[in-house]
Structure 1
């Protein structure tokens, strides 16, 4: 096991290195590549990854605390039972990544690409998904209470049994939603009715 602390890297290719079981504390990685790398059970705290490439990387069981992944690519990455606690993920792309058993605790996932992501039964309370693309995502039985879903794309998302009470949903295209089995509060019900041409008042 290794530990990197307060290090800064720019344009470094880490994909060939074995980074399993390591610990990263307050490090900055700018446009670095971890593509197809082994990062199982790695722990990061207060790190910053800017435009980094995690395509095809194995991040199984990894734990990230208050770490920022800004505009990073996780295409095809394995995030099985990984944990993101109060992380900033803005603009990152998760298309084709394995997210089974992932834990997302609070944090900012605005502008992320989570198309077709499997997030069934996830506790996502209070997560910020401002303008995130969740089209086709499986959110069945997910707890989305008090999330910021402002302008989020939820077309064809599976929402059966999900709970969005208290979530901000201004700008969501309610016409693209299938709301059967979705738990909504009164404000969201009004937004849904207005989207379908009802006059409320």
Structure 2
């Protein structure tokens, strides 16, 4: 077990290193590489990861609280039972990442690439997904109450049984969604009906 406090790293290559079970407290990593790095059970608090590459990294059971991962790459990384609490993930790419058992509590996931991500049954209330790419994402029975889905790309997303009440959905193409059994508020229901050309007085 190791601990880094208030450390700063720029363009450092941690690829394929064994960095598991560490504690990172208010550290900053800029354009660092963590390709294939073992980061199982790592905890980060108030850290900043800027344009870092986590391709193929193993982050299983890691916990991140108040940290920021901006414009980072997580392609093919393993995030099994990873927990993100009030984290800023703006612009990060999760293409092909293993997200089973992941927990998202609050935070800002705007402009992220979550294409085809399985987030079914997740409690995603209050999270910002502004202009996030959720194409073909599985959001069945997810709780999206009060989430911000403004202009999110939700084409072919599966929202069956999801709770959308209170979510901001300005600019969302309702005709591209599968919302069978989803729970909507009145404002969303009206927007949904109008998207099919109905006139609501």
Q: Does the TM-score normalized on the shorter chain lie above 0.5?
A: yes
Residue-by-residue CA offset, 1:21-51 (whole Å, 9 max, x unaligned): 0000000000000011100000000000000
1:69-148 equivalent positions in 2, closer than 5 A: 69-148=69-148
1:149 match: 149
1:185 match: 185
* Offset, 1:104: 0.2
Secondary structure in 2 aligned to 1:96?
A: coil
Secondary structure in 1 aligned to 2:9?
A: strand
Gaps of 5+ in 2: none
Residue-by-residue CA offset, 1:141-163 (whole Å, 9 max, x unaligned): 11011100000011111111111
Secondary structure in 2 aligned to 1:187?
A: helix
Q: How far apart, in 1, do the equivalents of 2:15 and 2:181 lie? A: 43
RMSD: 0.6
* Offset, 1:95: 0.7
1:31 match: 31
Does residue 8 (structure 1) correspond to residue 39 (structure 2)? The answer is no
Residue-by-residue CA offset, 1:66-88 (whole Å, 9 max, x unaligned): 00000000000000000000000
Q: How far apart, in 2, do the equivalents of 1:178 and 1:39 lie? A: 36
Q: TM-score, normalised by structure 1?
A: 0.99
Q: State whether residues 161 and 179 of structure 2, in contact with CA within 8 Å, keep that contact through their aligned partners in structure 1.
A: no
Q: How far apart, in 2, do the equivalents of 1:141 and 1:179 lie? A: 10
Secondary structure in 2 aligned to 1:193?
A: helix
Q: How far apart, in 1, do the equivalents of 2:200 and 2:39 lie? A: 52
Q: How far apart, in 1, do the equivalents of 2:181 and 2:101 lie? A: 23
Q: How far apart, in 2, do the equivalents of 1:122 and 1:112 lie? A: 17
Which 10-residue stretch deviates more, 16-25 or 67-76?
16-25
Q: TM-score, normalised by structure 2?
A: 0.99
Secondary structure in 2 aligned to 1:39?
A: coil
Q: State whether residues 78 and 98 of structure 2, in contact with CA within 8 Å, keep that contact through their aligned partners in structure 1.
A: yes
Number of aligned positions between the proteins: 201
